[in-house]
Structure 1
Amino acid sequence: MLCIVKPSKFVGHMQLSLHQLVPLPLREKIAGRSSGIWEGDLVLNEKDHVFIKAPSGTGKTTLIHMLYGMRDDYEGTVKWDNLEMKRGSAAEISQLRTKDVSVIFQDMRLFPELTAWENLDIKRRLTNTITAQQVTNWMDELGVADKRLSLARKLSYGEQQRVAIIRALLQPFKWLLMDEPFSHLDHVNIAKATKLISEVVKQNNAGMILADLDDNNFFPYTQTIVL
């Protein structure tokens, strides 16, 4: 069931610019190897749907964390429009995360002692763009409605991953970042999750970046980049 997200004045186009990025912990490992991101320049625009193929150890999660402003141990620049992440204030980065960029973490990052519903309702109340009924509908669509009152720590990895996917959709965003978002899902549940993600990304007129280890056809990508 498709649930309509309320229009938001914050949803629109946003450019991502990467310039001469070098993650310091991986400097020696990536030196001299060909990469579409590290040590180069890259601009991603508007509604790009980007697949980043990232062989193990090349910095996939490191990159996602850089884009989300979770780490700054790198040389070069990450810019969302005019906001350079290393120079942004805590308030500016918080605004970016609340209104412009959402993320599905590889390790889910749910609150283990809260229920599945509580994990989602915290985000829903903070952003105030999705109704409680819409969240319930999405839980049903992804097959976790019966886990509503289960503690997150007692959910299977696949159930946690589906809750984390829903949580990422409970806010306005211009870009959705995904770090191995379907690693614990079977083909049936991947199809359900990609359908929901595609619908909400389209409603937001947003771009997406998915980083994974292997080639896939989860979405119709506009470009593929090897990390």
Structure 2
Amino acid sequence: MIALQNVCKSFQDGDVKHAVIKDLSLSFPQQSSISITGASGSGKSTLLHLLAALDTPDSGSIIVDDLKITELSTKQADEYRKHYLGFVFQRFNLIDCLSVWDNLCFSARLTKRFDEDYIDSLVQRLGIEDLKHKLPQTLSGGEQQRVAIARALAHKPKLILADEPTGNLDDKNSENVVQLLFELCETLQTTLILVTHSQPIASSAKLHYCLRDGQLHPQSRDTG
């Protein structure tokens, strides 16, 4: 179970304080797919960063699989992300000095979950087999996006956080990526929390929420 209990998060902009998460209490079932939509600036990425322990709430607590991540030390948070999470960032965050293949293998080797056949299947599925020996800075935005997705999945994480994973992809690659994320959610029995502006993608998840006025509002899977 992933539980948020009275979570608040705000940002200071000069003399103005903007609250993006307002006393949010909600539980997500594990081994499920959850999509989150909402207007730009509504706090969707902030929420993912809180779930990844990359940021801390002003108040409240977040519990992931009986682990209260809001009370972790810096070292413990690093271990949580390394062993538990796969994060697909909007800005990719690939390691520039490593080849695509080494980027993919890096986290898997750190967690001692290196499965070359599995990683190679991700490479084939995402159509990046011809990019394996290239450096990230030589790739297009769409290519970097697909590499970043493969890297996030390479160590078979228990929780996948995906921040606009199709934002830099064409329609064909977007459909392929979304199918892969939902399939792995089932086959790896992992939890997927996906932020997207696409209503069709959002409606494909088992649970769909809209982040509005600091709260997550359940949405119809048919209409969003």
Please, what is the CA RMSD of the aligned residues? 2.2
1:39 equivalent in structure 2: 23
Q: Residue 191 of structure 1: CA displacement?
A: 2.0
- SS of the residue corresponding to residue 78 of structure 1 reads strand
Partner letter of residue 177 of structure 1?
L
User: What does 1:77-116 align with in structure 2 at a 5 Å threshold?
Assistant: 77-116=61-100
1:57 equivalent in structure 2: 41
Is the contact made by 2:32 and 2:185 (CA closer than 8 Å) also made in structure 1?
A: no
Is the contact made by 2:82 and 2:107 (CA closer than 8 Å) also made in structure 1?
A: no
5+ long unaligned stretches in structure 2: 212-224
Runs of 4+ displaced beyond 3 Å = 26-31
Is the contact made by 1:24 and 1:75 (CA closer than 8 Å) also made in structure 2?
A: no
Rate the CA distance shift 1:130–1:199 in 2: closer, same or farther, 3 A.
farther
Q: Residue 28 of structure 1: CA displacement?
A: 4.2
1:6 equivalent in structure 2: none
TM-score, length-scaled by structure 1? 0.82
5+ long unaligned stretches in structure 1: 1-14, 32-36
Is the contact made by 1:98 and 1:171 (CA closer than 8 Å) also made in structure 2?
A: no
Rate the CA distance shift 1:176–1:150 in 2: closer, same or farther, 3 A.
same
Structure that is richer in strand per residue: 2
Match of 2:187 among 184, 203, 224: 203
CA distance in 2, matches of 1:202, 1:97: 21
* Number of equivalent positions: 208
CA distance in 1, matches of 2:17, 2:198: 23
CA distance in 2, matches of 1:130, 1:195: 23
- SS of the residue corresponding to residue 47 of structure 1 reads coil
List per-residue Cα deviations over 1:15-34 (Å, max 9, x = no partner).
11112222120794447xxx
User: What does 1:6-17 align with in structure 2 at a 5 Å threshold?
Assistant: 15-17=1-3
Q: Residue 107 of structure 1: CA displacement?
A: 1.0
Instruction: Specify which structure has the bigger relative contact order, considering alpha-carbon pairs within 8 angstroms and separated by 6 or more residues.
Output: 1
Matched, 1:23 2:6: no
- SS of the residue corresponding to residue 50 of structure 1 reads strand
Match of 2:58 among 74, 77, 83: 74
TM-score, length-scaled by structure 2? 0.83
Partner letter of residue 33 of structure 2?
H
2:110 equivalent in structure 1: 126
Q: Residue 218 of structure 1: CA displacement?
A: 5.9
Greater shift after overlay, 61-70 or 19-28?
Answer: 19-28
